[in-house]
């Protein structure tokens, strides 16, 4: 029996809401709120159509999550135990403020990013730790797939396979095809900002900066394909090197097709990815916001998406049995078309939304519960992996083969 507010009704919000509807023993009442209420209504109508037996009761509301008093009023009117934030990273702090003011737990899938800085870091949210602790509330940060499941996979390596992890490589392959010349799989503004930024990885106690997409290698993704993959900075690296201090090097790799990179290079060269507002016919517009408006919405890609995603974590180090150079890989493969059949979403939204529902479930059941602000790897990975196996993201393991080379 629990009441939850989901904020955000984009690609990820759609999946979280539908997975809550499937898990109706835990999620009994859900308020789906977002800036555009018609998107919430559409999702709830689909839930009634596709999951008619679900006992979860849904309501919808419009909310501007940049506005703390508006959020506080909404939370007070519904009285939830937990807010699941799947709006944009810009709203993390306002939603955390509203949770503190109303005494409600908090979960998100992406760390805070100031709108005008193109810089994402945990420092802003970690600074809330004491306030959440003192209020007896819990905030769980970054509970999507990457970050999220990748942090759980790292904790799984540490709990079951390694006495010391020395080298960590997180790999993210989208081998899907949506048939569009150029589109991003999640919010275009956030996605493009992530890729056009300098790369960064952790080595011997410091961050090494690279040019965007400077380092690459071909990586074999089990049961899917071999794809050229590029080092880029991803937010889970920041918490993982703090929580697993034996790590000597931690890198994040992602696949990008040639056509994708070509489009992005041109858009960047002509200034379309800039976050600096320009004056256009008397209005201040950041070119990237305009670009977002002309690109396909991520959720619109779902219907014709084919192919699979494969996301995993390779660890290398000293095994539990003392093996000095053990290597092990934990991963999930997900099929885009299967996601569409189940929840009318593409694989990237699905692989983010399912872990958010699982994290929320574990918090509500108090399986994962500590007052304060936490990253996912700070909890027992076993119930989370059991949840992934149950709720549509089966976890596989492969030992003894080094898929990502030095
Ligand atoms: P979308 O752009 O599809 O959806 C975002 C939603 O948030 C929209 O419904 C939007 O409303 C709403 N929103 C935006 N601003 C506000 C506001 N001020 N107040 C209320 N609602 C607002 O994004 P996605 O669903 O693809 O991504 C959601 C989140 O998940 C993002 O933070 C993203 O970074 C994160 N993510 C995490 C991943 C992971 O693995 N950890 C992977 C992929 C995404 P409107 O429709 O009106 O614009």
The domain 3-141 having CATH identifier 3.30.450.40: the answer here is no
Cα(219)–Cα(225) distance, integer angstroms:
8
Distance 308 CA to ligand 1 centre (A): 22
Q: Which of 107, 187, 189, 237 is the pocket-test mutation for ligand 1 (most atoms within 8 Å of CB)?
A: 187
CA distances from 94 to 63, 71, 85, 99, 236 (A): 12, 8, 11, 9, 22
The three-class DSSP label of residue 396 is strand
Instruction: Give pTM, 2 decimals.
Output: 0.96
Q: φ, ψ for residue 254 (rounded to 5)?
A: -140, 145
The answer to whether the beta carbons of residues 50 and 124 sit under 8 Å apart is no
State the closest ligand 1 atom to the C-alpha of 142, by its place in the atom list counted from 1. Answer: 41
Q: Whose CA is nearest to atom 28 of ligand 1?
A: 86
Distance 163 CA to ligand 1 centre (A): 38
Q: Which residues of the chain have pLDDT under 70?
A: 118
Cα(270)–Cα(213) distance, integer angstroms:
19
pLDDT at 230: 96
| Per-residue DSSP letter, 148 | B
The set of protein residues with a Cβ atom below 6 angstroms from ligand 1 is 7-13, 34-36, 39, 63-66, 86-89, 91, 109-110, 144-148, 186-187, 190, 298-299, 348-349, 352
Tens digit of each residue's pLDDT (9 = 90 or more) over 77-94: 999 999 999 999 999 999
Q: How many Cβ atoms from other residues are within 10 Å of residue 22's Cβ?
A: 20
Distance 86 CA to ligand 1 centre (A): 5
Q: Which of 7, 16, 34 is the pocket-test mutation for ligand 1 (most atoms within 8 Å of CB)?
A: 34
The three-class DSSP label of residue 395 is coil
Cα(395)–Cα(347) distance, integer angstroms:
15
* Nearest CA-CA partner of 39 in 69, 7, 68: 7
H-type alpha helices, 25-178: 37-50, 68-78, 92-102, 123-126, 129-135, 149-156
State the closest ligand 1 atom to the C-alpha of 298, by its place in the atom list counted from 1. Answer: 3
Distance 109 CA to ligand 1 centre (A): 10
DSSP letters of 167-221?
EEEEEEEE--B-S-SS--SS-HHHHHHHHHSPEEEEETTEEEEE-TT--EEEEEE
Distance 169 CA to ligand 1 centre (A): 27
Distance 186 CA to ligand 1 centre (A): 8
pLDDT at 385: 98
Distance 93 CA to ligand 1 centre (A): 14
Six-digit token string for 9 = 């009704």
The answer to whether the beta carbons of residues 75 and 47 sit under 8 Å apart is no
All CATH 3.40.50.720 domain ranges of the chain, comma separated, are 3-141
pLDDT at 118: 63
* CATH top class, domain 149-342+395-399: alpha beta
Q: Whose CA is nearest to atom 42 of ligand 1?
A: 352
User: Could you report how far apart the first and last alpha carbons of the chain are, in Å?
Assistant: 49
Cα(371)–Cα(135) distance, integer angstroms:
8
All CATH 3.30.360.10 domain ranges of the chain, comma separated, are 149-342+395-399
pLDDT at 78: 98
Q: Is 252 buried (19+), middle (13-18) or exposed (0-12) by CB count in 10 A?
A: buried
Cα(258)–Cα(255) distance, integer angstroms:
10
Distance 8 CA to ligand 1 centre (A): 6
Cα(30)–Cα(56) distance, integer angstroms:
7
Q: Which of 67, 69, 70, 88 is the pocket-test mutation for ligand 1 (most atoms within 8 Å of CB)?
A: 88
Q: Is 358 buried (19+), middle (13-18) or exposed (0-12) by CB count in 10 A?
A: buried
Give the CA-trace dihedral at 392, 393, 399, 402, to 10 degrees.
150
pLDDT at 223: 93
State the closest ligand 1 atom to the C-alpha of 109, by its place in the atom list counted from 1. Answer: 41
State the closest ligand 1 atom to the C-alpha of 297, by its place in the atom list counted from 1. Answer: 3
Q: How many residues are there in the chain?
A: 406
Distance 95 CA to ligand 1 centre (A): 13
ipTM over 0.85: yes
């Amino acid at each position: 029996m629990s009441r939850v507010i989901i904020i955000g009704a984009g690609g990820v919000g759609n999946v979280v809401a539908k997975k809550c509807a499937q898990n109706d023993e835990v999620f009994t009442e859900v308020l789906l709120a977002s800036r555009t209420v018609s998107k919430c209504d559409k999702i709830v109508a689909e839930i009634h159509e596709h999951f008619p037996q679900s006992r979860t009761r849904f309501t919808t509301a419009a909310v501007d999550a940049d506005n703390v008093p508006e959020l506080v009023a909404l939370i007070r009117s519904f009285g939830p135990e937990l807010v699941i934030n799947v709006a944009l990273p810009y709203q993390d702090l306002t939603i955390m403020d509203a949770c503190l003011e109303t005494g409600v737990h908090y979960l998100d899938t992406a760390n805070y990013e100031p709108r005008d800085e193109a810089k994402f870091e945990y420092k802003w949210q970690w600074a809330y730790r004491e306030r959440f602790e003192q209020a007896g509330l819990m905030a769980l940060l970054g509970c999507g797939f990457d970050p999220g499941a990748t942090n759980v996979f790292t904790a799984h390596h540490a709990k079951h396979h390694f006495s010391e992890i020395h080298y960590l490589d997180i790999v993210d392959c989208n081998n899907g095809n949506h048939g569009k010349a150029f589109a991003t799989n999640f919010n275009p503004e956030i996605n493009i900002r992530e890729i056009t930024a300098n790369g960064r990885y952790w080595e011997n106690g410091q961050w090494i900066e690279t040019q965007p997409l400077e380092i690459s290698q071909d990586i074999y993704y089990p049961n899917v394909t071999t794809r050229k993959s590029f080092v880029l900075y991803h937010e889970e690296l920041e918490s993982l090197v703090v929580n697993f201090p034996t790590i000597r090097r931690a890198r994040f790799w992602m696949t990008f097709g040639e056509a994708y990179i070509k489009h992005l290079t041109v858009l960047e060269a002509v200034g379309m990815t800039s976050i600096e507002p320009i004056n256009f016919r008397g209005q201040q517009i950041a070119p990237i916001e305009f670009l977002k408006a002309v690109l396909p919405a991520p959720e619109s890609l779902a219907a014709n998406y084919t192919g699979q995603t494969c996301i995993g974590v390779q660890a290398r180090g000293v095994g539990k049995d003392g093996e000095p150079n053990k290597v092990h890989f934990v991963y999930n493969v997900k099929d885009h078309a299967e996601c569409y059949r189940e929840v009318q979403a593409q694989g990237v939204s699905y692989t983010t939304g399912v872990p958010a529902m699982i994290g929320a479930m574990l918090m509500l059941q108090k399986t994962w519960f500590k007052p304060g602000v936490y990253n996912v790897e700070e909890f027992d990975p076993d119930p989370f992996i059991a949840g992934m196996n149950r709720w549509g993201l089966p976890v596989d393991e492969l030992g003894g083969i080094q898929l990502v080379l030095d």
